């Protein structure tokens, strides 16, 4: 009795020792793997390692980890342990015992797989593995199904999984699920951060495309306030060699990255071509050509391009489909300048027929405002839109401020702390007030209006080479009389000599009976030479300056003329016969 009792007691102690050591083993495994999951850098490796440990710990022949994918429609094995490698095996999300376990979000013990109607025999048939018993635990976090861990064929004993095994597997699958969710969120965060950083870089490059703000007394000021990180709006201004200032403002259809890229392209084209093409209409037409060649279907750019001459207060403007710029004259009245052509990128037709129509505007101390519809359609504090009338009033109300401050005042009305902008805001002001004051102080060159002409020379001569010396002498003296320096006068002589040669050689084709008329006028600060012949019209496009690295005789004359003179244009001759070449050069 005694010994039996002793034996029983010993058995009980042994059993509780067993339980204790099993529980502490469970805890150790759980704690280890929890730690692994929490500190994992590579979730796939950690999961695969974890699966191996649990399979060995429970004593199963094999184990597999399935994850839901394809928006929850499929279950794919992403880790497997055991004699048969089944990574990549894909089932429908409710197929097999693993599918049922995932869908019901309940762990289960299947003692005889063959008798379970859900069991997929096909897998065994294909792999040659013989599945007897299955232990399966779902992975889910707060109802979000992720997948399941499945163990097959318990080794040793009766070959069956028990509740302890299930409990252990469920604990592990929960922490694995959490680790997977965490890893996925971290990945999404990293990706978001990467996209954000790239956007910021793009925005920085975009900001660098905008011109640096000029001094307060610089006549042109601009401001751009993007609705998102990057902007589809742009503006630019840059001085030309003759003191005039080339400017533009544009709005690319749409917002975001694609608009920003087209913006960068259009702005770059304008800056590059604007340095050589000094006619805004032709310039916009040329840009239209380029953009039409490559633009993504459906994207376009509305754009205003112009040239402002601080010396005269005049602006030449071309508008391709853009919101009409507003000219505020010194008497407080507004003039809107509507678009004369469709937006850029719509049709290559623009370019034929000499480009987009240009408008000439005498600012006479007033200000020209160019802006995008983000401004007029911007929401004011009371929820209403700014509209054109609101903008007009705002600009007049702030007339006492500097141009840059006026633009900021407009932005401040629309862009308020904590309110997302509806669209990019961009404004440009060409303010002639200071320049005009400077012009008024200077003694009027020809009596008032800067455009007043003064005839300096009128000369008529036959198309004969032996008259050129006479023409050269007359032009040299006239240029000096206009106030040109000797060097400038000598240059003008070269230009007129070459132009006369072109008339003699190309227009009259060497015939000595042609008549040539030269008029020299002083127009404001420029000397203007008008050379007229009465021969058949010359196809201007065939007279081209030659490439300078091509060293060979001939073709140089036209290059000299363009090099020397600020403006060289064939203009329609009075009466429509012959050719009239207009050449102008700043006197100082």
How far is residue 354 from each of residues 266, 283, 285, 302, 528, measured CA to CA in Å? 20, 10, 8, 19, 23
- CB 350, CB 366: distance < 8 Å: no
From the list 416, 413, 419, the residue with the least C-alpha distance to 385 is 413
Between CA 501 and CA 387 the distance in angstroms is: 57
**Would you say 115 or 552 has its CB closer to another protein?**
552
In the block, tokens 């005049």 appear at: 314
**Would you say 392 or 472 has its CB closer to another protein?**
472
In DSSP terms, 319 is beta-bridged to 304
Q: Does 553 bind another protein (CB under 8 A)?
A: yes
Between 257-274 and 163-209, two packed helices, what is the crossing angle to 10 degrees? 20
Can you read off the two tokens belonging to residue 38? Answer: 């929490």
Report the nearest approach of another protein to the CB of residue 478 (Å). 17
For 325, other C-beta atoms within 10 Å of its C-beta total: 24
The H or E element containing residue 367 is: strand 367-371
From the list 360, 369, 365, the residue with the least C-alpha distance to 439 is 365
From the list 582, 566, 571, 522, the residue with the least C-alpha distance to 309 is 566
- CB 456, CB 522: distance < 8 Å: yes
**Would you say 82 or 557 has its CB closer to another protein?**
557
| Position among 116, 290, 563, 566 found at the interface with another protein (CB under 8 A) | 563
**Would you say 54 or 564 has its CB closer to another protein?**
564
- CB 153, CB 132: distance < 8 Å: yes
| Position among 219, 374, 557, 578 found at the interface with another protein (CB under 8 A) | 557
Give the chain's count of helices (H) and strands (E): 14, 21
- Per DSSP bridges, beta strands 134-141 and 108-110 are antiparallel
| Position among 268, 501, 515, 523 found at the interface with another protein (CB under 8 A) | 501
| Position among 30, 160, 494, 587 found at the interface with another protein (CB under 8 A) | 494
Q: Does 514 bind another protein (CB under 8 A)?
A: no
Report the nearest approach of another protein to the CB of residue 495 (Å). 10
Report the nearest approach of another protein to the CB of residue 249 (Å). 37
13 Cβ contact list (under 8 Å, min separation 6): none
**Would you say 197 or 505 has its CB closer to another protein?**
505
Report the nearest approach of another protein to the CB of residue 541 (Å). 20
| Position among 160, 181, 257, 468 found at the interface with another protein (CB under 8 A) | 468
Q: Does 544 bind another protein (CB under 8 A)?
A: no
Between CA 358 and CA 238 the distance in angstroms is: 19
Report the nearest approach of another protein to the CB of residue 529 (Å). 16
Radius of gyration of the chain from its Cα atoms, rounded to whole angstroms: 42
**Where does this chain touch another protein (CB under 8 A) — which range of 94-102, 272-280, 327-335, 497-505?**
497-505
| Position among 156, 443, 554, 575 found at the interface with another protein (CB under 8 A) | 554
In DSSP terms, 68 is beta-bridged to 75
**Would you say 116 or 567 has its CB closer to another protein?**
567
| Position among 398, 472, 515, 538 found at the interface with another protein (CB under 8 A) | 472
| Position among 491, 519, 525, 533 found at the interface with another protein (CB under 8 A) | 491
Report the nearest approach of another protein to the CB of residue 502 (Å). 10
Between CA 58 and CA 154 the distance in angstroms is: 8
| Position among 49, 228, 490, 582 found at the interface with another protein (CB under 8 A) | 490
Between CA 148 and CA 172 the distance in angstroms is: 11
**Residue 556: exposure state from Cβ atoms within 10 A (0-12, 13-18, ≥19):** middle
| Position among 293, 382, 466, 513 found at the interface with another protein (CB under 8 A) | 466
**Would you say 447 or 553 has its CB closer to another protein?**
553
**Where does this chain touch another protein (CB under 8 A) — which range of 4-12, 298-306, 394-402, 492-500?**
492-500
Q: Does 560 bind another protein (CB under 8 A)?
A: yes
Size, binding site for another protein by CB under 8 A: 25
Report the nearest approach of another protein to the CB of residue 503 (Å). 11
Can you read off the two tokens belonging to residue 236? Answer: 């630019």
Q: Does 564 bind another protein (CB under 8 A)?
A: yes
Report the nearest approach of another protein to the CB of residue 484 (Å). 15
**Would you say 165 or 491 has its CB closer to another protein?**
491
Report the nearest approach of another protein to the CB of residue 274 (Å). 24
Q: Does 543 bind another protein (CB under 8 A)?
A: no
88 Cβ contact list (under 8 Å, min separation 6): 76, 77
- CB 379, CB 416: distance < 8 Å: no
**Would you say 109 or 556 has its CB closer to another protein?**
556
Can you read off the two tokens belonging to residue 11? Answer: 């058995």
Q: Does 465 bind another protein (CB under 8 A)?
A: yes
Report the nearest approach of another protein to the CB of residue 494 (Å). 6
CA triple 408-306-341, angle to 5 deg? 105
**Where does this chain touch another protein (CB under 8 A) — which range of 190-198, 219-227, 381-389, 461-469?**
461-469
- CB 344, CB 365: distance < 8 Å: no
**Where does this chain touch another protein (CB under 8 A) — which range of 166-174, 406-414, 490-498, 578-586?**
490-498
Interaction site with another protein (CB under 8 A): 465-466, 468-469, 472, 490-491, 493-494, 497-498, 501, 504-505, 548, 551-554, 556-557, 559-560, 563-564
């Amino acid at each position: 009795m005694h010994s039996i009792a002793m034996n029983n007691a010993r058995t009980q102690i042994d059993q509780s020792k067993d339980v204790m050591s099993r529980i502490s083993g469970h805890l150790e495994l759980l704690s280890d793997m929890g730690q692994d999951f929490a500190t994992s850098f590579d979730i796939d490796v950690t999961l695969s390692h974890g699966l191996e440990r649990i399979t060995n710990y429970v004593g199963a022949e094999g184990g597999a980890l399935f994850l839901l994918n394809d928006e929850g429609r499929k279950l794919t094995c992403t880790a497997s342990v055991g004699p048969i490698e089944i990574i990549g095996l894909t089932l429908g999300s409710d197929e097999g015992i693993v599918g049922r376990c995932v869908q019901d979000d309940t762990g289960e013990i299947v003692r005889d797989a063959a008798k379970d109607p859900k069991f997929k025999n096909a897998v065994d048939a294909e792999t040659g593995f013989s599945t007897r018993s299955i232990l399966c635990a779902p992975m889910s976090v707060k109802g979000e199904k992720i997948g399941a861990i499945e163990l097959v064929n318990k080794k040793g004993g009766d070959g069956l999984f028990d509740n302890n095994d299930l409990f252990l597997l469920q604990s592990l699958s929960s922490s694995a699920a959490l680790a997977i969710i965490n890893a996925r969120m971290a990945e999404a965060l990293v990706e978001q951060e990467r996209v954000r950083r790239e956007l910021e870089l793009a925005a920085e490059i975009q900001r660098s495309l905008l011109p640096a703000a000029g001094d307060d007394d610089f006549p042109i000021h601009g401001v751009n306030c993007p609705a998102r990180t990057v902007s589809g709006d742009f503006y630019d201004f840059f001085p030309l060699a003759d003191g005039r200032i080339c400017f533009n403002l544009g709005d690319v259809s749409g917002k975001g990255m694609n608009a920003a890229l087209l913006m960068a392209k259009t702005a770059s084209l304008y800056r590059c071509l604007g340095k050589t093409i000094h006619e805004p209409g032709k310039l916009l037409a040329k840009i239209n050509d380029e953009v039409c060649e490559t633009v993504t279907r459906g994207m376009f750019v509305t754009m205003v391009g112009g040239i402002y001459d601080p010396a005269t207060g005049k602006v030449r403007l071309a508008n391709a489909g853009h919101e009409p710029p507003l000219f505020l004259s010194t008497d407080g009245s507004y003039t809107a300048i509507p678009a004369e052509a469709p937006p850029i990128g719509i049709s290559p037709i623009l370019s034929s027929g000499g480009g987009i129509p240009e408008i000439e505007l005498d600012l006479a101390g007033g200000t020209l405002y160019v802006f995008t519809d983000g401004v007029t359609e911007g929401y004011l504090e009371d929820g209403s839109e700014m509209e054109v009338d609101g903008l007009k009033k705002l600009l007049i109300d702030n007339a006492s401020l500097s141009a840059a401050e006026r633009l900021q005042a407009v932005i401040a009305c629309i862009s308020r702390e904590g309110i997302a902008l509806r669209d990019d805001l961009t404004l440009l002001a060409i303010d002639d007030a200071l320049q005009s004051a400077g012009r008024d102080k200077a003694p009027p060159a020809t009596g008032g209006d800067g455009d007043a002409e003064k005839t300096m020379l009128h000369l008529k001569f036959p198309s004969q080479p032996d008259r050129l010396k006479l023409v050269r002498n007359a032009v040299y003296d006239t240029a000096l009389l206009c106030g040109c320096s000797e060097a400038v006068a000598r240059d003008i002589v070269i230009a007129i000599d070459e132009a006369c040669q072109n008339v003699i050689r190309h227009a009259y084709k060497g015939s000595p009976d042609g008549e040539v008329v030269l008029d020299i006028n002083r127009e404001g600060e420029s000397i203007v030479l008008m050379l007229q012949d009465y021969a058949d019209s010359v196809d201007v496009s065939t007279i081209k300056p030659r490439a300078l690295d091509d060293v060979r005789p001939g073709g140089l004359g036209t290059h000299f003329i363009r090099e020397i003179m600020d403006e060289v244009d064939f203009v329609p001759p009075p009466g429509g016969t012959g050719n009239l070449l207009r050449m102008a050069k700043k006197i100082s």
